[in-house]
Structure 1
Amino acid sequence: MTADVLIVGAGIVGAACAAELAALGMRVEVLDAQGIGSGATAAGMGHIVVMNDSPAEFALSRYSRDLWQELAPQLRTCDAFARCGTVWVAADDEEWQAARVMHAAFEAQGVSAQLLDAAALRACEPALAESMAGGLRIEHDSIVYAPTVASWLLTQSSGAGNIRMRLGARVTAVSGGDVTLADGERISAAKVIVANGLDAQKLLRSLPLKPKKGHLLITDRYPELIHHQLLELSYIKSAHHATGTSVAFNAQPRPTGQLLIGSSRQFDTTDPAVDMPVLAQMLRRAAHYLPVLPTLNGIRAWTGFRAASPDGLPLIGPADDSAPGVWLAVGHEGLGVTTSLATARLLAAQITGDVAPIPVEPYLPVRFAQKAAHD
């Protein structure tokens, strides 16, 4: 098969782009240095969540969550898709007022959300600390096991017959018409899409991406201990820290009955080792919200690296003048799983010249070149 499109990266974003373009009849070849969903996709929580830190983040995450809801009936048991919903937890009166503001914003945009006072929160999630002031429930948020979904998109989606994969193929250079592999082989195609997260910087040095290291811990099985994805209301502020180390409470009920506990963010390191002081800080924070946590058995901790852009939004569209003919789908930070399906739709619309389902301007890579020129 001679490919129309080469995609570098077989994570959830690359897989979504491949499935979308293949469904349009394009012949797609996907190259990855490791395996399907083996990078940031495997390291993350798989939380599908509407975020409203900015209008652009809200538009992309909401549209993508709708696409996940449409895809869900096709997914398998092993993909662990569950509509558990999200509860944003308010620890005090100030955060309770923030929850009320957040509720009004969601309701104005047609996103179903329910305010929970302290008693309702306690009834909803009895394991939370009794001191919590309330919360906000977003009922249609979900969770999924992203590595297996990436595999399904590449092998079983409607266009899978148009997709070929080459795993263990490390790309060392890209241009608008071909890629070069580590063994010197060159593969040509009309279009090249770079969707391999932080490793994209090794191919395009000018990309404004920074690594954000994160820790996660999974427990033994404690069925029904929590029922929703739980996040503290100050999580958004933590998620967009640009320097230093920060932690925030984030707990997910896995379909297995296990709890997945996060989250942390560190800059200026690419060491994948678990940082025990940071892990301890993260777990202390979580125990403030879930007092039972210190009595549970944690069975594994690991780290991953989010590819963060300066403004917290992904780069979706043609690369800058230094790489003519190359397309980007990178910089999703902690929302790669959530926004993968929308990213694929936006990129496909640009490639085919169709009208995009939501405005693409906030995500175009050229915005950083324009800012540099203005500065």
Structure 2
Amino acid sequence: MTADVLVIGAGIVGAACAAELAARGLRVDVLDAHGIGGGATAAGMGHIVVMNDSPAELALSRYSRDLWLELAPCLRTRDAFARCGTLWVAEDEDEWQAARAMHAAFDAQGIAAHLLDARELHECEPALAPSMAGGLRVEHDSIVYAPTVAEWLLTRSPGASHICVRPGVAVRSVDAACVTLADGERLSAAHVVVANGLRARELLVALPLQPKKGHLLITDRYPGVIRHQLLELGYIKSAHHACGTSVAFNAQPRPTGQLLIGSSRQFDTTDPVVEMPVLARMLQRAARYLPMLPEMNGIRAWTGFRAATPDGLPVIGPAGEWAPGVWLAVGHEGLGVTTSLATAKLLAAQMVGDTAAIPFEPYLAARFGYEVVHE
């Protein structure tokens, strides 16, 4: 036994779990088939956002955003943390009413947010189409470059001396206190944590994880065009589509002056290729909100796969009947960066028997009855 905990996955969730466990004095080995900060961590936008599609999502995302704000002073320039805020944009009266409802929900929880009418919205973000009905600005939402933060957590965080990272190590199988590598080597530890996103299905075939493919595009440098992370109010509905292809407006100002444009969701493919019809549809949607977008130079597009559960919440805690004795931190869909730090806190609290800051029951695997099998 070389470690107290074996963590499979060196993305932002696995890195956060390793750092939290190491900070508690546990020796942690992190195994990843590729390297630090790959997979969905490298493909995503790095938006740290409070979401309120359900009480459990609100509790987890808010708790984790607070943890990110605490961590921010420790991060480096290269980690590109910026408290830019989120601006939810209402295109019409129905979405304006949705913004009002979101504001009421946030206000009830003490989350700083402000309604903007059409004039205030235009003053706040002049590049938006003048036809927009208004918006909701959430003050402390942020952005970060997650791949480098994963590296910081594993190599520079307070417990990093207790962490050993083994890149290029593929895991073939797991059980309660042991993992078997692709080359047949067996490693043992008191605890095994599976935190490698969609690849977790290769180790635990019964996990109810479904891939959601997404496209992103980054532009050339256009400093100051937008100041907030911009999302349409229809994004929440789009994010939880259960089939087909959907797009929604999502734009992020990068510290470099570039714009990162999203987003799309597909269920009918696991092909990582950039699909031009989907990308075109996504950009056409974005141009309704940012009319100057077609005049900008897009320099790169790519895709990634979110690991989604049937109810949109991650699985954090014991794998139960799926793999007795194994721990899970998977299924974060598009909120892996946002909820990574809170995931680590909840997992560690369960593992060592501490009290968690928020209830962990909504995220347990047992809620699925261990009967859901992904086909």
Work out whether the TM-score is over 0.5: yes
Q: Runs in 1 of length 4+ with deviation above 4 angstroms? A: none
What is the identity, as a one-letter code, of the residue corresponding to 2:251?
A
Question: Is the aligned partner of 1:171 residue 2:171?
Answer: yes
Residue number in structure 2 paired with 1:259: 259
Secondary structure of 2:279's partner?
helix
Cα distance in 2 for residues equivalent to 1:109 and 1:371: 35
Q: How big is each residue's C-alpha offset from its partner over 1:114-160, in whole Å with a ceiling of 9 and x where there is no partner?
A: 00000000000000000000000001000000000000000000000
Q: How far apart are 1:323 and its partner, in Å? A: 1.0
Secondary structure of 1:66's partner?
helix
Cα distance in 2 for residues equivalent to 1:209 and 1:322: 13
Alignment of 1:66-85 (within 5 A): 66-85=66-85
Residue number in structure 1 paired with 2:131: 131
Kindly indicate whether the alpha-carbon contact (under 8 Å) linking 1:88 and 1:136 is maintained by their aligned counterparts in 2.
yes
Q: Which segment drifts farther, 97-106 or 191-200? A: 97-106
Alignment of 1:1-375 (within 5 A): 2-369=2-369
Secondary structure of 2:202's partner?
helix
Kindly indicate whether the alpha-carbon contact (under 8 Å) linking 1:315 and 1:328 is maintained by their aligned counterparts in 2.
yes
Secondary structure of 1:237's partner?
helix
Q: Extract unaligned runs of 5+ from structure 2.
A: none
Cα distance in 2 for residues equivalent to 1:371 and 1:116: 46
Q: How far apart are 1:371 and its partner, in Å? A: 7.2
What is the identity, as a one-letter code, of the residue corresponding to 2:260?
L
Kindly indicate whether the alpha-carbon contact (under 8 Å) linking 2:48 and 2:141 is maintained by their aligned counterparts in 1.
yes
Q: How far apart are 1:7 and its partner, in Å? A: 0.3
Cα distance in 2 for residues equivalent to 1:321 and 1:330: 16
Secondary structure of 1:4's partner?
strand
Cα distance in 2 for residues equivalent to 1:35 and 1:361: 32
What is the identity, as a one-letter code, of the residue corresponding to 2:356?
A
Change in CA separation of 1:53 and 1:322 when aligned onto 2, cut-off 3 Å: closer
Cα distance in 1 for residues equivalent to 2:203 and 2:188: 16
What is the identity, as a one-letter code, of the residue corresponding to 1:185?
E
Q: Extract unaligned runs of 5+ from structure 1.
A: none
Change in CA separation of 1:134 and 1:322 when aligned onto 2, cut-off 3 Å: closer
Q: How big is each residue's C-alpha offset from its partner over 1:53-105, in whole Å with a ceiling of 9 and x where there is no partner?
A: 00000000000000000000000000000000000000011111111111111
Q: How far apart are 1:279 and its partner, in Å? A: 0.3
Cα distance in 2 for residues equivalent to 1:290 and 1:321: 49
Q: How far apart are 1:268 and its partner, in Å? A: 2.3
What is the identity, as a one-letter code, of the residue corresponding to 1:254?
R
What is the identity, as a one-letter code, of the residue corresponding to 2:96?
W
Kindly indicate whether the alpha-carbon contact (under 8 Å) linking 2:207 and 2:322 is maintained by their aligned counterparts in 1.
no
Secondary structure of 2:320's partner?
coil
TM (norm. structure 1) is 0.98
Kindly indicate whether the alpha-carbon contact (under 8 Å) linking 2:322 and 2:370 is maintained by their aligned counterparts in 1.
no
Q: How far apart are 1:300 and its partner, in Å? A: 0.1
What is the identity, as a one-letter code, of the residue corresponding to 1:222?
Y
Kindly indicate whether the alpha-carbon contact (under 8 Å) linking 1:320 and 1:369 is maintained by their aligned counterparts in 2.
no
Kindly indicate whether the alpha-carbon contact (under 8 Å) linking 2:13 and 2:329 is maintained by their aligned counterparts in 1.
yes
Kindly indicate whether the alpha-carbon contact (under 8 Å) linking 1:214 and 1:266 is maintained by their aligned counterparts in 2.
yes
Secondary structure of 1:243's partner?
coil
Q: How far apart are 1:313 and its partner, in Å? A: 0.1
TM (norm. structure 2) is 0.98
Cα distance in 2 for residues equivalent to 1:219 and 1:129: 19
Cα distance in 2 for residues equivalent to 1:370 and 1:320: 8
What is the identity, as a one-letter code, of the residue corresponding to 2:321?
D
Q: How far apart are 1:370 and its partner, in Å? A: 6.2
Cα distance in 2 for residues equivalent to 1:99 and 1:322: 40
Cα distance in 1 for residues equivalent to 2:366 and 2:171: 24
How large is the RMSD of aligned CA atoms in angstroms? Answer: 0.8
Secondary structure of 2:161's partner?
helix
Q: How big is each residue's C-alpha offset from its partner over 1:239-265, in whole Å with a ceiling of 9 and x where there is no partner?
A: 000100000000000000000000000
Cα distance in 2 for residues equivalent to 1:58 and 1:264: 22
What is the identity, as a one-letter code, of the residue corresponding to 1:214?
G
Cα distance in 2 for residues equivalent to 1:255 and 1:139: 18
Cα distance in 1 for residues equivalent to 2:354 and 2:158: 20
Secondary structure of 1:192's partner?
strand
What is the identity, as a one-letter code, of the residue corresponding to 1:250?
N
What is the identity, as a one-letter code, of the residue corresponding to 1:298?
G
Q: How far apart are 1:366 and its partner, in Å? A: 1.1
Cα distance in 1 for residues equivalent to 2:85 and 2:165: 34
Secondary structure of 2:3's partner?
coil
